[in-house]
Amino acid sequence: MYKLLLCVRYLQTRYLAFICIVSVMLGVATLIVVNAVMSGFSTKLKDRLHGVLSDIIIDTDRMDGFDIPDANGKSLTPDQIIQKIKDSPAGPKIAAITPTIEVFAILQFTFRGQMLTKPVRLIGIDPEGRASVGGFSEYLVRQNGSKSPSFELTPEALKQHEHNRGERSKISALEVPNVPMPKALVPDPNAIPEPDIEAMTKDMPKAKLHGVIPGFTLAHFRYRNAEGVVVEEAALKPGDDVTIFTVGGAQGEGMRMRPVWGSFLVTDYLKTEMSEYDQSFVYVPLEQLQQLRTMEGRCTAFQIKLKNYEQDKVAVADALRDIFDPRTGSRVATWEEHQGSLLAAIEVEKSILNLLLFMIVGVAGFSILAIFTMIVSEKYRDIGILKSLGASNHGVMSIFVGYGLLLGTVGCVAGTVLGLWITDNINGIEMFLTKVTGKAVFPRDVYYFKDIPTNIETISVVMVNVGAVGIATLFSLLPAWRAARLHPVRALRFE
């Protein structure tokens, strides 16, 4: 009982020990906040990657798509391949499958009178099928959350398209001599009356009305105005026309790839808040891309959603590899394997940050060592009295080890409370610091997140606390051992 009494007495009277408590508290709070923010970024990134990529991805290196022969040596169509997958051992575990075509392309459009070109990843999809495997409709701006997304043009998009056609006609008339000026056109699309869709599309070539869904960042520009405020301007509006250049699917031995292009109208935007996707992904109808690349009845990838991903991912992937021979350039991978290098880099970064920041707790350990050494020197006489009254070496050592354990525990409790409070209010703190310093602590135009993502993991908080208490206890062992070795007669010789 005297051991606990002395530990509490030292904690209440030795104000120098509060330096140790503050050191442990700051170290624990910093680790909790950093882990929560890193885990938040990691969780949000994984959610975005998983959503965009679906559970299982099957793709091929062949420009003309999969070449899986049937019994007669004829290549199977995507629908036949899907049926073959459903008939395989993996079939009962699969919830949905959709074919896609993915190819690199160049997007060309006009902005402020200038012709702009951007490299993109062109993806041909069936919108309803893509929504069935997840991660599509919830990222659309206009059709957000729609169960049946499509590339159909809205009346507003057709209105913008008619305005653009009128502007081009006016410019063309100005460039040709001896051509009378056309009737005045209303410059503001909002001033044009609601269009008669049937009349507008009656004589319009149907091939020109295929929709396209570009990434949000690809279709917008961000810049700072004269007041320093970040302004977002749409370079591509619904109804604007774009031209997409890509290569045709070379089918057969010795056939060369040839350039192909097509015109599309913007119908919606994809906004995943992942800059890699939002600035490069462009979705078009699968059937139209098949026709454009002369790949009718073919595709380059399949997106698969499982009924139970965690339980069935390995078994399904192994079963699919029996259908898609890797020697033909086909690959079967889970979304985690598909983005393995990126996910591994995040985990390595998180581990390195934890290692570096844990040195703060290590500094607190050395401060405990120094302060305890001073306390042992100051309490030389008191230790001698205790031992002369019958206290054993183990009892004296337990006093100082318990003292170190108590300091570590108090510091961890205070650090946990502080860390959880900062994590819970981190966005408010960030806004306050931005207002005080005049510089954005978390620039949203860089990360494309509305708020700083956080995710508090209980196991992480427990491990930080256990580590901090362990270090505090460990660094108290040497002074405690030194105190236990004191001889009572020598300690009281000059008293």
Per-residue model confidence as pLDDT tens digits over 25-59: 888 998 899 889 888 888 888 887 887 888 999 99
pLDDT tens digits for 81-95? 999 999 989 889 999
Mean pLDDT over 385-408 rounds to 73
Q: CB-based contacts of 213: which residues, under 8 Å, 6+ apart?
A: 140, 151, 266, 267, 268, 269, 270, 282, 283, 284
The pLDDT score that the predictor gives to residue 378 is 67
Q: Answer yes or no: are the C-beta atoms of 383 and 403 closer than 8 Å.
A: no
Task: Show Cβ contacts of residue 78 under 8 Å, excluding neighbours closer than 6 positions.
Answer: 66, 99, 297, 298, 299, 302
Of residues 428 and 379, more confidence is placed in 428
For range 258-274, the mean pLDDT? 88
Q: Pick the range with the lowest mean pLDDT from 28-32, 115-119, 201-205, 279-283.
A: 201-205
Same domain? 111 vs 10: no
Phi–psi pair at 276, nearest 5 degrees: -60, -35
Q: Are residues 71 and 28 in the same domain?
A: no
CB 383 within 8 A of CB 492: no
Is residue 129 helix, strand or coil? helix
Domain-ending residue, one of 296, 328, 360 = 328
Residues 128 and 236 in one domain: yes
* Residues contacting residue 335 through CB under 8 Å, at least 6 positions apart: 49, 50, 53, 54, 55, 56, 57
Residue 255 lies in a domain: yes
pLDDT of 204 over the 50 cut: no
Evaluate if residue 23 carries a pLDDT over 70. yes
Provide the pLDDT confidence category of residue 284 given band limits of 50, 70 and 90: very high
Question: Do 367 and 416 sit in the same domain of this protein?
Answer: yes
Determine, yes or no, domain membership for 469. Answer: yes
Q: List the domain range (segments joined by +) for residue 312.
A: 62-151+210-328
Tokens for 355, please give them.
């290692």
- Note the pLDDT of residue 479: 78
Q: What is the pLDDT of residue 206?
A: 47
Residues 218, 117 within the same domain:
yes
Tell me if the pTM is above 0.85. Answer: no
Q: How far apart are CA 282 and CA 4, in angstroms?
A: 68
Indicate the range of 42-46, 106-110, 191-195, 399-403 predicted with least confidence. 191-195
For the chain, give the mean pLDDT: 80
Q: Kindly report, residue by residue over 120-179, the tens digit of the pLDDT.
A: 999 999 999 998 888 788 889 888 888 889 898 888 877 877 777 666 655 555 555 555
389, pLDDT greater than 70:
no
Residue 337 lies in a domain: no
Cα–Cα dist 235/289, whole Å: 24
Q: Would you call 341 exposed, middle or buried from its count of C-beta atoms within 10 A (0-12, 13-18, 19+)?
A: exposed
Domain identity same for 368 and 479: yes
Element (H, E) at 214: strand 211-214
| Helix or strand (DSSP H, E) at 246 | strand 241-247
Mean pLDDT of 264-288: 89
Whether residues 381 and 417 fall in one domain? yes
**Between 184 and 271, where is the model more confident?**
271
Is residue 163 included in any domain, yes or no? no
Asked if the model's pLDDT at residue 411 lies above 70, the reply is yes
pLDDT at 65 over 70: yes
Q: Are residues 324 and 394 in the same domain?
A: no
pLDDT recorded at residue 53 = 83
361 and 478 part of one domain: yes
Element (H, E) at 245: strand 241-247
Report the alpha-carbon distance of residue 295 to residue 286 in Å, rounded.
10
Instruction: Tell me how far apart the alpha carbons of residues 467 and 364 are, in angstroms, rounded to a whole number.
Output: 12
Would 185 be classed as within a structural domain?
no
CB neighbour class for 333 (10 Å; exposed up to 12, middle 13-18, buried from 19) = middle
405 with 460, same domain: the answer is yes
CA distance 342 to 348: 10
Query: In total, how many domains does the chain have?
Result: 2
> Within a domain: residue 262?
yes
More confident residue, 337 or 15: 337
Contacts of 416 (CB under 8 A, 6+ apart): 28, 29, 32, 461, 465
Q: Which long-range contacts (CB under 8 A, 24 or more apart) does 393-399 make?
A: 393/484, 393/485, 394/484, 395/2, 395/3, 396/480, 396/483, 396/484, 396/486, 397/480, 397/481, 397/483, 397/484, 398/3, 398/480, 399/3, 399/6, 399/7, 399/480, 399/483
Choose the final residue of a domain: 285, 302, 328.
328
Identify whether 176 is part of a domain.
Answer: no
The pLDDT assigned to 202 comes to 52
Pick the more confident residue, 446 or 246: 246
240/387 same-domain check: no
| Strand 241-247, strand 230-234: pairing | unpaired
Find where tokens 């913007």 sit.
266
Average pLDDT on 457-479 reads: 87
* Per-residue DSSP letter, 208: G
The DSSP bridge pattern shows strands 211-214 and 94-111 to be unpaired
DSSP string, 148-191: S---PPPHHHHHHHHHHHHHHHHHHHHHSTT-PPPPPPPS-GGG
pLDDT in the model for residue 387: 64
One-letter amino acid at 295 equals: M
Q: 260 and 313: one domain?
A: yes
Residue 402 has pLDDT above 70, yes or no: yes
178 in a structural domain: no
What residues pair up with 122 in beta bridges, in sequence order? 103, 282
Domain boundary pick from 328, 358, 374: 328
Quote the radius of gyration of the chain (alpha carbons, Å): 34
